Amino acid sequence: MFIFILKRIGIAIPTLLVLIVFSFVIMKSAPGGPFTSERPLPAQVLLNLEIKYGLDKPYHEQLINYVVDIVTKFDFGPSFRYKDRSVNDIIAQGFPITLTYGIWSFVLAVSVGVSLGIVAAIKHNSWIDYTAVGFSISAQVLPNFVMAPILVIIFTLTLGWLPGGGWNGGQWQYLVMPVIALSTSYMASIARITRSSMLEVLNSNFIRTAKAKGLSNTQIIFKHALKPALLPVITYLGPAFVGMITGSVVIDMYFSTGGIGQMFVSSALNRDYSVIMGITILMGFLTIMFNLVVDILYAWIDPKIRY
């Protein structure tokens, strides 16, 4: 197990390198640069700027310098757009925000999604089941850019209960709507996956054995059915968790939370190379880490899986 984890971390490093090179190449091949604007800068100013940020050097040298700075100094470079701010600063400012409402969204999506899926499977073909299926389909087809304004119309404009946006240090009033808007579609997917996998497990031979033993429904579900039914859900949860804690552009923009998703988009529009790279690497790193966590959870749940 320990060796397995080490190996996986070992593979993660070249994977991240490939990610860096790939996003670097794509970024450089896009036209324009961080200092392109409607009113062209004088050639000398542009050259000075490029020298300052090292953009005058050949591409491969820029790339190597970038990677060396990360490895030796954990320095992701300065932002090209916001003077005096480094990428580290920008991520340190935006990521905690996204992380906060992301984790809440995750907790909400998992707890409601899993319970809904289980109940729907147990009461298969009952009104509860149909309601759950109906909810998850509608929640899934409702994109968050529709969901967010609807929430604002209800809770801010009509009822006046919640502020329409902002962050304010993450007070709960500011959290409610971003969390709901972000979690619903995940919740719906989790409910759907849980329901179908639970149904499959409940029809399996070993559940019939459990029934033939005279075990109560509660014992059957929690002792015999839950673990196998949750395996496919866990597969989904790894990437879903990363998706939630790295935020959603729509949520950040709509509720002006100041999260990392917003920065990602604006840096892409501004050609703020180092910020794009920094956030990409962060997301890549988290994805790799949580896939590893999923694999470890797998081994913990399924005795047939041993690394």
126 binds another protein (CB under 8 A): no
Whose Cβ is closer to another protein: residue 52's or residue 124's?
124
217 binds another protein (CB under 8 A): yes
- Out of 204, 235, 266, 291, the only residue in the binding site for another protein (CB under 8 A) is 204
Whose Cβ is closer to another protein: residue 207's or residue 253's?
207
130 binds another protein (CB under 8 A): no
Q: Which amino acid belongs to residue 4? A: F
Question: How crowded is the C-beta side of 106, counted as CA atoms within 13 Å?
Answer: 21
Chain-centroid distance of CA 247 in Å reads: 6
CA distance 84 to 81: 9
208 binds another protein (CB under 8 A): yes
What distances in angstroms separate CA 263 from CA 132, 139, 278, 280, 285, one per listed residue?
36, 27, 11, 11, 18
Is the Cα dihedral 29, 30, 33, 38 positive or negative? positive
- Out of 22, 130, 161, 206, the only residue in the binding site for another protein (CB under 8 A) is 206
210 binds another protein (CB under 8 A): yes
**Shortest Å distance, C-beta 207 to another protein:** 8
133 binds another protein (CB under 8 A): no
Mark residues 84-103: x for contact with another protein by CB under 8 A, - for none: --------------------
Torsion of CA 274, 276, 278, 284, to 10 degrees: -150
With CA atoms as reference, report the closest residue to 192 among 297, 293, 112, 126: 112
Q: Tokens for 148?
A: 């967010």
303 binds another protein (CB under 8 A): yes
215 binds another protein (CB under 8 A): yes
* 299-302 own/partner pairs: CB under 8 Å, 24+ apart: 299/1, 301/227, 301/230, 301/231, 301/234, 302/227, 302/228, 302/231
300 binds another protein (CB under 8 A): no
216 binds another protein (CB under 8 A): yes
205 binds another protein (CB under 8 A): yes
**Shortest Å distance, C-beta 230 to another protein:** 10
- Out of 13, 68, 213, 300, the only residue in the binding site for another protein (CB under 8 A) is 213
304 binds another protein (CB under 8 A): yes
203 binds another protein (CB under 8 A): yes
**Shortest Å distance, C-beta 125 to another protein:** 8
How many residues in the shown chain lie near another protein by CB under 8 A? Answer: 25
Estimate the share of the chain in helix, then strand, then coil, as percent rounded to the nearest 5: 80, 0, 20
Q: Decide: 239 and 291 in contact? Cβ < 8 Å.
A: yes
Whose Cβ is closer to another protein: residue 60's or residue 213's?
213
With CA atoms as reference, report the closest residue to 24 among 64, 74, 70, 71: 64
> Which residues are at the interface with another protein (CB under 8 A)?
124-125, 203-206, 208-217, 219, 223-224, 227-228, 301-304
